[in-house]
Structure 1
Amino acid sequence: MNKIFSAPASFEAEHSLLSLAANETDTAIVITDNLGKAIYVNDGFTRMLGYTSAEMWGKLPSAMVCGPYTDTETLQRIRQHVSSGESFRAEILIYDRWGKPLWISAVVNAVKSEQGECTAMVGVWTDITNTKMHEVLQHKVLHALVREAPILGVMRLICTEVERIAPEVMISIRRLDEYKRLWTLGAPSLPADYVKAMDGLMLGHAIEDCEIPGLEGQLVIFAEQTPDSFWGRQKDLAQECGLVTCWWHVIRSSDGCTLGTLAFYYRETRGPDNLHRHLADVSLNLCSLALEREASKENIRRLAYYDGLTGLPNRSALVARIESLLAEATREGCALALLFIDLDRFKQVNDSFGHPAGDTLLCEVARRVKECLGKFDVAGRLSGDEFVVALMPCDAGKAVARCESIMAKLNGPFTIGPTIVTPTASVGIALFPQHGDSVHTLLLHADMAMYHAKSKGRHRYSMFNPELNRISQENLKLERALREALHNDQLQLHYQPQVRLEDESLHGVEALARWHHPDFGMVPPERFVTLAEERGMIADLDHWVIHAACGQLRKWRCLGLAIPHVSVNVSPTTFSDQAFPGWIARTLAENGVCAADLMLEVTEGVLLDTVSGAFANLNAVRDLGVRLSVDDFGTGYSSLSYLYRMPVAELKLDKSFVRELEYNESARALSSAVISIGASLRLAIVAEGVESDAQRRTLQAQGCKVAQGYLFARPMEADKLTAWLTCSPPPASVCRS
């Protein structure tokens, strides 16, 4: 066997060398028995933690070195490994004999017998406190800076890492603005009420306390502060939040300028220990580096992104500032309002007085907008005559009030040369977080709201409404499609039979407009009819339906089909047109249909309209021989005094009454009353929406003569109605042209 050494060492010499190696190392070595109790610690253990071998004998090391902020989950895992006799590695915060915290990396190996049983555990503990501070903290923050992470993210990272290394500390980092006010950039563990109270305070008010000997920072014990001092004014709130001591520093740039403050807060009366001092040194350097970098970026933005005409931030700077406000609003849980301001008729100023006059007006508008800003508000010029104002904190009610105030301010007279101009503006309002969580989304929605305000008239404001906007966008597309459909004759008519209950013969048919679009599919009538009313197309739609229905009736007559009449619903708007009776006469003549073949259905409101011309048109149409029907009778402005004097031939019992006939006594009483009214006035009664035989029997028992509904037939295309009639031709008398 080859020998490593030229001569074997004695047992005593070998033991001496091993003891020397174990005791002179900087790491702590601890050996425990199979129960986890210490049977040996080296001198390095004593130097690191202060406990001698005699003091550790028979003790559980984990119980001796744990402290108030030792992670209990990690400690539990370590004890499970020890009890199971398993080797493991762990990083954990522990405390020395005098209560000083330090981070260690522990590598523990199990010593096992030939039978595989654990007989001892050998642990090697290494102090990694400085590694945590320098390699971990610095590496993470510098990496974030290289990646151009936002300043708020960098500062929160510093806070998080410091508090992870020293859990007894709550850290805050504040930035100094141009007005010497402090604003929190990071304070993840401090109570929100305290953070909010500290924001916006002047830095000079805090420089009152004496410095701690040997330290650059200043120590504040809240209980000792006088009520008239800066910290004394914060005393009650600090104590309510459980804050007892604050150790704070001024963050300075490389040339000595003040950039902000760094503060360590404690929940007990104490000063900083060496660990905290090291953490403060490292953090101050990192904060200074991050804030200087941010100041340089801000200076570049100021040179490159401010509007040269008005002095307001332009789009890029405005977006950056609003993003900062959004981050602050998110952190504080408050609302923010975005106002999109567009001058009315600005082009007329340029065209009438020249562009220099327009520039003068823009500068005056910018000045007036800035006068309306609060301490935390931001304003900027997007482009042309568009301005944006961000208000924080600001809910919906305040946003409207502030908007009205700004509009009133802008509306004051302004002299351009010899001419007095009174500017007006249209404003759109979007709220954070209701209407979006990003600058671009809020700008888009405020812009949409502004255009909505302009569409209602100048010098107005509008609050963004997601549903209204969605409907507006869809209706815009639908409007174009409907105009095209009316122009190109792309709508269809379906016809629903009206039958006489006594023998189920045909009384007439009602023409109902239907629209199937290749992209939108089958568009419900209530959708496109309402759209036609809103967008001024209802008269065109009514004309198309009447013309198409009369043309179809002529085709049926040519086929020898007995169709007594066709009913068409006409809107009040169409009926109010003075030219409507003449158009009806021409349409009847063009299609060779006699007037009695056409029934026009109107709502009860038309009967009461004595202003728009509808009343006169009722008589004019009646004089042509066209019969009139009151649609949905009983649901509107029913008036018997008007009804008996109006030239109507028919009442249509609304389907809302018919639907409840079987189980609602009140519905039966109302339907009976309507039928009796019709009979007394010698008017035909048509019940709509009949779907069951029980409804039919009830109506017939009450004296109703005519009904329509799914019980008899659904609305159908003309050719299908032809087939339906051919299968069971109804007896009827018709007026032939």
Structure 2
Amino acid sequence: MIMTASRIVATFVLFGTIWLFAADRVIDLLVDDTWAIPIWRWLKGFTSIALSAVLIYWLVRRAERMQQKLELETARQRDRLAHMLDVSPAVIYALKPSEHNGPWIVDFVSHKIEQVSGYPVDYWLGHPRLWRDLIHPDDLQRVLEDQERFKTQGWLHHEYRLRHADGHYCWLDDHMVMMRDEEGQPVGVIGAWLDVSNRHRDGERIRHLANYDALTGLPNRNLLHERARHVLAHAAQQRMSAVVLHVNIDHFSAINETLGHEAGDQLLREMAQRLTHTLRPQDTVSRMGADNFIILLPGACARDAAQICLRLMTGVAEPLAVADQELRLTASIGVAEFPEDGPNLAALSQAAESAVHHAKREGRNTVRFFSRDVHEQVRETLTLTRELRWAVEREQLVLHYQPQVDARTQQLVGVEALVRWQHPEHGLLSPARFIGLAEQAGLIQDIGTWVLREALRQLASWRDQGLPVVPVAVNLSAAQFAHPGLVELLRQMLQQFHLPPEWLELELTESVAMQNSDNTIAVMASLKRLGVKLSIDDFGTGYSSLSYLRRFAIDKLKIDRSFVVGLSHDAQDEAIITGVINLARSLGLHILAEGVETPAQQAVLCRHGCDVLQGYLFGRPMAAEHIAQLLAHPPVAAIAA
């Protein structure tokens, strides 16, 4: 407006000056009549007034239009700024100094403050101390110290918690800058708040996931290691003990497979609560995965651990309702003590794990303390199990064959295929060393399939060499026999090697045959239709029902070696064998005796009518090329061991 007024005055003065001199000069040049000159000058005055009025009107109207345009643009800019403040996630504020050096007063704040704090704009403008009163007590001292630094450095960026009107606290990211005049004196503050509560919540969630098990809410391996580091360091400094427990829920995998994973998860959550409630506040229960829990007991010794383990086992054994069923669980616990059994958590956990494996081997539902001898056995077992997974792929498994001879003529009438593991470090390992491991590790199906395929391949090889082939007997594991694809697998293998099915004899132990006798009858019937031979191995050691035995589609009974050993001096063993042979005769079955090692045993078995003999007296298990020699040069006399 100042510039507009100056322009109007300057224009008027310029126009008036020009008119004053120019008009008089024009009149003097054009008017000769002296009496007419006053009249023209009078007209000049009126004309000057009229032209001045028109000029002033034009100048004022032009200034008004410029002012209106400026006001309109200012209003447009103000609306744009207001809209930007409304859509901005940040709260924009301005502070001004108060009188008498009191707290700075809120001079302006955007409407976003209502969403962030729950208080309206007018409330903030009318309460200078509101901001300070709402800061979290734990953050207030730090914030005030930051404010003191702000007075000298002129800028500040920090985070703190502010209480919302509804009572909860939100995290604010606060940026502020000091405004100063030409002399450097503070005249105001411009700042921005940003609600970063979600970021802090996400950070807390990430930290929780990094340190706690998602299923049970228990500390995980990371947090356990951190706590153990402090506990064991303190124990070492104070010459105190500490205990690490490894708790494993017995038969959890079977429950998980039977009732489903949801039931298994519910069970684990319940077990986590029971274990936690049984222990002291300073103890740590952590889940290591599946049904394995590691417990850290600061300041405890072996004697304390024994009592604690009893309480834990009692808590686990309480009835538990899962999937509309009431379960009663048991747990196996391994105990390791610091510092005797290890200097750190890794060593103590390994020792406790070794102890819990010992507890499981001794029947479960028990507590075992770490023993270095037992640990070495467990370590060797775990190593063998790990290496066994590669044995088939690396072609470390081999088959040996033990001769089966006719009891009367001693002619070779069959062989039994027995798997061996040619271990690169331990040499040739018998099945007793690794078959149990294979069953526990779930490898028995793969190994059993390999044995079947290799035995049939070897039969085909002997046939292709022109040798008089005899049937080969192969033991079936419980897992193989229960597999629904067994019959089809055998059919494909026999077709692959172009072998008649009667050249293959499958052996089932008495216990496997009786696990599900109705299913056994159905599977045996399918195998018989395929044409393979079937036998019951280790007969007499189980609890088979004679009624079921009559219904089994089998061809042969194999007398267990435990009855053969005492034949020469134990009348009861001879009576049992006589009964078994008579039973087989009545059922139309052949009879084979295993473990024949002496001529005396051979004589008794022949006298009672045993059909086939097998044992060291006729030959140990041997490589395929040695069997080829026996096939090439019949009849077989007693083969040297």
Partner of 1:388: 296
For the pair shown, which has the larger CA radius of gyration, 1 or 2?
2
* Cα contact 1:576–1:612 (8 A) shared by 2: no
Shift of 1:340: 6.5
* Cα contact 2:243–2:296 (8 A) shared by 1: no
Q: Map Cα deviations across residues 593-627 of structure 1 (whole Å, 9 max, x no partner).
A: 11111000001123323379443211111110111
Match runs of 1:160-171 below 5 Å: none
Partner of 1:498: 404
Partner of 2:438: 532
Query: Quick check: 1:401 aligned with 2:307?
Result: no
* Cα contact 1:339–1:427 (8 A) shared by 2: no
Partner of 2:525: 619
* Cα contact 2:341–2:370 (8 A) shared by 1: no
Match runs of 1:75-114 below 5 Å: none
Query: CA, structure 1 residues 561+472, in 2 after alignment: closer, same or farther (shift >3 Å)?
Result: same
Shift of 1:314: 4.3
- Structure 1 CA distance, aligned partners of 2:224 and 2:344? 21
Which structure has the higher relative contact order (CA within 8 Å, separation 6+)?
Answer: 2
Query: Quick check: 1:568 aligned with 2:474?
Result: yes
SS of the equivalent of 1:581 reads helix
SS of the equivalent of 2:534 reads strand
Match runs of 1:541-552 below 5 Å: 541-552=447-458
Partner of 2:502: 596
Partner of 1:444: 349
Shift of 1:721: 1.2
Query: CA, structure 1 residues 628+615, in 2 after alignment: closer, same or farther (shift >3 Å)?
Result: same
Partner of 2:181: none
Partner of 1:373: 280
- Structure 2 CA distance, aligned partners of 1:560 and 1:567? 20
Query: CA, structure 1 residues 610+398, in 2 after alignment: closer, same or farther (shift >3 Å)?
Result: same
Shift of 1:470: 3.8
The residue type equivalent to 2:426 in the other structure is F
Query: Quick check: 1:638 aligned with 2:544?
Result: yes
The residue type equivalent to 2:466 in the other structure is G
Query: CA, structure 1 residues 313+619, in 2 after alignment: closer, same or farther (shift >3 Å)?
Result: closer
Query: CA, structure 1 residues 667+490, in 2 after alignment: closer, same or farther (shift >3 Å)?
Result: same
Partner of 1:487: 393
- Structure 2 CA distance, aligned partners of 1:715 and 1:687? 16
Shift of 1:371: 10
* Cα contact 1:565–1:596 (8 A) shared by 2: yes
Gaps of 5+ in 2: 1-221, 249-271, 321-330
The residue type equivalent to 1:537 in the other structure is L
Identity %: 33
- Structure 2 CA distance, aligned partners of 1:406 and 1:608? 36
Q: Map Cα deviations across residues 295-346 of structure 1 (whole Å, 9 max, x no partner).
A: xxxxxxxxxxxxxx99999445412433367x567xxxxxx7434799xxxx
* Cα contact 2:457–2:497 (8 A) shared by 1: yes
Query: CA, structure 1 residues 479+517, in 2 after alignment: closer, same or farther (shift >3 Å)?
Result: same
- Structure 1 CA distance, aligned partners of 2:423 and 2:562? 30
The residue type equivalent to 2:451 in the other structure is V
Partner of 2:177: none
Query: CA, structure 1 residues 403+443, in 2 after alignment: closer, same or farther (shift >3 Å)?
Result: farther
Shift of 1:728: 2.9
- Structure 2 CA distance, aligned partners of 1:486 and 1:541? 7
Query: Quick check: 1:553 aligned with 2:462?
Result: no
Indicate which of 703, 708, 711 corresponds to 2:609.
Answer: 703
- Structure 1 CA distance, aligned partners of 2:332 and 2:621? 47
* Cα contact 1:609–1:615 (8 A) shared by 2: no
- Structure 2 CA distance, aligned partners of 1:598 and 1:402? 55
* Cα contact 1:515–1:523 (8 A) shared by 2: yes
Match runs of 1:72-221 below 5 Å: none
Query: CA, structure 1 residues 508+321, in 2 after alignment: closer, same or farther (shift >3 Å)?
Result: same
- Structure 1 CA distance, aligned partners of 2:278 and 2:549? 62
The residue type equivalent to 1:492 in the other structure is V
Query: Quick check: 1:692 aligned with 2:601?
Result: no
Shift of 1:688: 0.5
- Structure 1 CA distance, aligned partners of 2:546 and 2:500? 30
Partner of 1:275: none
Query: Quick check: 1:321 aligned with 2:228?
Result: no
Query: How many equivalent residue pairs?
Result: 371
- Structure 1 CA distance, aligned partners of 2:223 and 2:463? 75
- Structure 1 CA distance, aligned partners of 2:553 and 2:278? 64
- Structure 1 CA distance, aligned partners of 2:224 and 2:431? 54
TM-score, normalised relative to structure 2:
0.51
Query: CA, structure 1 residues 661+323, in 2 after alignment: closer, same or farther (shift >3 Å)?
Result: same
- Structure 1 CA distance, aligned partners of 2:518 and 2:338? 46
* Cα contact 2:278–2:312 (8 A) shared by 1: no
Shift of 1:539: 1.2
Query: CA, structure 1 residues 535+311, in 2 after alignment: closer, same or farther (shift >3 Å)?
Result: closer
The residue type equivalent to 1:389 in the other structure is L
The residue type equivalent to 2:572 in the other structure is S
* Cα contact 2:333–2:356 (8 A) shared by 1: yes
Partner of 1:222: none
Gaps of 5+ in 1: 1-308, 330-335, 343-364, 412-425, 732-737
Q: Map Cα deviations across residues 506-546 of structure 1 (whole Å, 9 max, x no partner).
A: 22111111111112322221121111111111111111111
Match runs of 1:228-267 below 5 Å: none
Query: CA, structure 1 residues 631+526, in 2 after alignment: closer, same or farther (shift >3 Å)?
Result: same
Q: Map Cα deviations across residues 401-449 of structure 1 (whole Å, 9 max, x no partner).
A: 35469999xx9xxxxxxxxxxxxxx996524499737666873346636
* Cα contact 2:246–2:349 (8 A) shared by 1: no
The residue type equivalent to 2:232 in the other structure is V
Query: CA, structure 1 residues 626+387, in 2 after alignment: closer, same or farther (shift >3 Å)?
Result: closer
Query: Quick check: 1:583 aligned with 2:489?
Result: yes
Partner of 1:128: none
Indicate which of 460, 463, 475 corresponds to 2:381.
Answer: 475
The residue type equivalent to 1:398 in the other structure is Q
The residue type equivalent to 2:604 in the other structure is T
Partner of 2:414: 508
- Structure 1 CA distance, aligned partners of 2:409 and 2:369? 57
Root mean square deviation of aligned Cα = 4.2
* Cα contact 2:228–2:345 (8 A) shared by 1: no
The residue type equivalent to 1:709 in the other structure is G
- Structure 2 CA distance, aligned partners of 1:321 and 1:434? 12
Query: CA, structure 1 residues 501+310, in 2 after alignment: closer, same or farther (shift >3 Å)?
Result: closer
Query: CA, structure 1 residues 564+553, in 2 after alignment: closer, same or farther (shift >3 Å)?
Result: same
The residue type equivalent to 2:614 in the other structure is Q
The residue type equivalent to 2:310 in the other structure is A
Shift of 1:666: 0.6
Shift of 1:709: 0.8
- Structure 1 CA distance, aligned partners of 2:557 and 2:315? 55
The residue type equivalent to 1:532 in the other structure is A
Partner of 1:664: 570
Q: Map Cα deviations across residues 691-722 of structure 1 (whole Å, 9 max, x no partner).
A: 11011001101111210111111111011111
- Structure 2 CA distance, aligned partners of 1:381 and 1:632? 47
- Structure 1 CA distance, aligned partners of 2:455 and 2:225? 63
Q: Map Cα deviations across residues 241-291 of structure 1 (whole Å, 9 max, x no partner).
A: xxxxxxxxxxxxxxxxxxxxxxxxxxxxxxxxxxxxxxxxxxxxxxxxxxx
The residue type equivalent to 1:685 in the other structure is I
Q: Map Cα deviations across residues 428-479 of structure 1 (whole Å, 9 max, x no partner).
A: 65244997376668733466369979x99xxx99755546654443233222
SS of the equivalent of 2:580 reads helix
- Structure 1 CA distance, aligned partners of 2:579 and 2:533? 23
Q: Map Cα deviations across residues 88-115 of structure 1 (whole Å, 9 max, x no partner).
A: xxxxxxxxxxxxxxxxxxxxxxxxxxxx
* Cα contact 1:337–1:394 (8 A) shared by 2: no
